[in-house]
A = this chain, B = another copy of it.
Amino acid sequence: MKQDLLDCQARIVPYIHRTPVLSSQLLNDLAGASLYFKCENFQRMGAFKFRGATNAILQLTAQQRARGVVTHSSGNFAQALALAAREVGTIAYIVMPRTAPQVKKDAVSGYGGHIIECEPTLAAREKTASDLVQKYGATFIHPSNQDEVILGQGTAALELLEDHPNLNAIFSPVGGGGLIAGTALAAHYFGNNCDVIGGEPEAADDAYRSLIAGRIETNTATNTIADGLRTELGDRNFPIIQQHVQEIIRVSEAAIIAAMRLIWERMKIIVEASSAVALAALLIEKGRFEGQKVGILLSGGNVDLLDLPFGQTKAG
């Protein structure tokens, strides 16, 4: 896997932004540690997902490219695959629930993706995607549970470790598991005893429970503002997470919003709620990282400016 990660990095580097790593003295003081924020909110289309999508698409054969790609997503992976497909001149069929916000549909269309709407159930999404694969001979690309995607997402941590080789730990949000699995591979092969720790919403703590149970657990509800983290682990990323992730820390909704607000107000950058989960997890357990060097993956910055959560904390 070590060479696979390096090959992946070389493959996608002409397409992606090398995102900056920012620090904040105030947040360092607050955490009692030196924090290094990897700003994937500045990545193309606004999230790390573009890395994995690009890596997957670049490995299609000419015949596959001629027939297009399919995914189902109402989040950042939909935009990522649409943009990556446009970059290499193939077509992206994006299955989205008809109830998805118009702003998300517009974003996918803006990157040239072809939206196919379906009923808002997982079964309908999978059936619709499967039909498209049949109909067009298009290649299905999974948002998080596919090796090419996992490796692509891992390049964010790989870059972070190139810039800061002696991190004691990297905190990553945990949703479908692609980012944290890729991060775990990067830290294992390129870190210097660098732990990987996940931050996960209490309200969608399937990964936390999966690690305890030793098998992939599901969520019965996903009532979290961190909408990128409502998804569940898969059979490709779970074994990597079991082997190379030290711990998953669960955080409350209030802690997510508070961490998001800290990043906005103190760092003056825009991150989505899912990104703030990693910082929230660190702040809960900050005593354990006293004086250490800690990387934080800020996974994305796509938010609806007309629907921000800060008013909810006014009384808090």
Contact = CB atoms under 8 A, between A and B. Distances in A.
Contact of A305 (B20, B46, B261): B261
Interface residues of A, number: 19
Interface string A5-26: 0000000000000001000000
A305 B305 contact: no
A311 interface: yes
A256 to B, nearest CB: 15
A29 to B, nearest CB: 13
B311 A308 contact: no
A284 interface: no
A306 B310 contact: yes
Nearest to A25: B44
A25 to B, nearest CB: 9
Contact of A264 (B20, B42, B265, B305): B305
Contacts of A46: 268
Contacts of A113: none
A270 interface: yes
B314 A265 contact: no
A269 B46 CA distance: 12
Interface in A261-308: 261, 264-265, 267-271, 301, 305-306, 308
B314 A306 contact: yes
Contacts of A308: 305, 308
A41 interface: yes
A308 B305 CA distance: 9
Interface string A147-191: 000000000000000000000000000000000000000000000
Contacts of A311: 306
Nearest to A42: B268
16 contacts: A20-B20, A41-B268, A42-B267, A261-B305, A264-B270, A264-B305, A265-B305, A268-B269, A268-B271, A268-B301, A269-B269, A269-B270, A270-B270, A306-B310, A306-B311, A308-B308
